[in-house]
Amino acid sequence: MKKLLLTLTAVAGLTMASQAQTEQGKFIVGGQVGFHTNNVDDSEAETSSFSINPTVGYFVSDNWAVGTAVGYNWSKVDNSIDVNKSNSFNLAPFVRNYIGDGQFKFFAQLSVPMQWGEVEFEDPSTNRTDKFASYGVELAPGIAFFPTPKIGIELKVRGLYYNHFDGKDSYDSSNEFGLDANSLSPSLGVQFHF
């Protein structure tokens, strides 16, 4: 009887702790850091990129968070004839809804990613810099695991998206729409709840 009472108390405590992570008045803090490099054998082509995108949100009601990601991206492509460098700043306000109880919760996130930047082209005949802007909307599903009351480990796919790219100088404008639910390329992240 004593073991049963202890077990029920532990289960109730875990359930209450996991619900407290997404209750009104709590904050969520996290983000992404990425680095990529690629050097092709028997070629002088080399690609490098770096990105950092911190995220902060606030639970306006139980299981409903609003927030934003703010970030910076840099990339360079060098193929020995010409070099392209890109710098951009990102802003992505979002609304997120968690569904479920316990340590595992599904979520859906609606975001409006925006990006402003420039691409610098260097080749033997000319050097030029072109500016660009990008605006879109994304609906991304995911699942969060809460091993402790303050930590959420998330697995998310891009989901349904639309993006408008606006080249300011020699770039053409373009529109992109898609569904990217590839389970082989999800994003994995850690969020802190307090």
Torsion-angle region of 80 (φ positive above 0: left; ψ -120 to 50: alpha; else: beta): left
**pLDDT of amino acid 171:** 66
> Does the pLDDT value for residue 176 go beyond 70?
yes
Q: In 3D, which of 63, 67, 32 has the Cα closest to residue 156?
A: 32
Give the model confidence (pLDDT) of 42-62 as tens digits.
777 889 999 999 999 999 999
Q: 123: which 2 tokens?
A: 């080749």
Give the model confidence (pLDDT) of 74-131 as tens digits.
999 988 788 889 999 999 999 999 999 889 999 999 999 999 999 888 887 888 888 9
**pLDDT of amino acid 118:** 93
Q: The domain at 2-193 falls in which architecture? A: Beta Barrel (2.40)
**pLDDT of amino acid 183:** 60
Average pLDDT, the chain: 85
Q: Averaged over 130-144, what is the pLDDT?
A: 94
Q: 110 with 123: CB under 8 angstroms?
A: no
**pLDDT of amino acid 170:** 65
**pLDDT of amino acid 12:** 40
User: For the chain, which residues make up each domain, given as ranges?
Assistant: 2-193
Considering only residues 88 and 170, tell me which one the structure prediction assigns the higher pLDDT: 88
d(CA 41, CA 60): 52
> Does the pLDDT value for residue 23 go beyond 60?
yes
Assign 3-class secondary structure to the chain: CHHHHHHHHHHHHHHHHHHHCCCCCCEEEEEEEEEEEEECCCCCCEEEEEEEEEEEEEEEECCEEEEEEEEEEEEEEECCCCEEEEEEEEEEEEEEEEECCCCEEEEEEEECCEEEEEEEEECCCCEEEEEEEEEEEEEEEEEEEEEECCEEEEEECCEEEEEEEEECCCCCCEEEEEEECCCCCCEEEEEEEC
**pLDDT of amino acid 25:** 95
**pLDDT of amino acid 19:** 53
**pLDDT of amino acid 180:** 79
Structure confidence at residue 4 as a pLDDT band (50, 70, 90): very low
> Does the pLDDT value for residue 6 go beyond 50?
no
In the block, which residue shows the tokens 């303050």? Answer: 150
User: Which are the contacts of 113, defined by CB distance < 8 A and separation ≥ 6?
Assistant: 90, 91, 92, 134, 135, 136, 137, 138, 163
d(CA 79, CA 85): 12
Q: 112 with 133: CB under 8 angstroms?
A: no
**pLDDT of amino acid 60:** 98
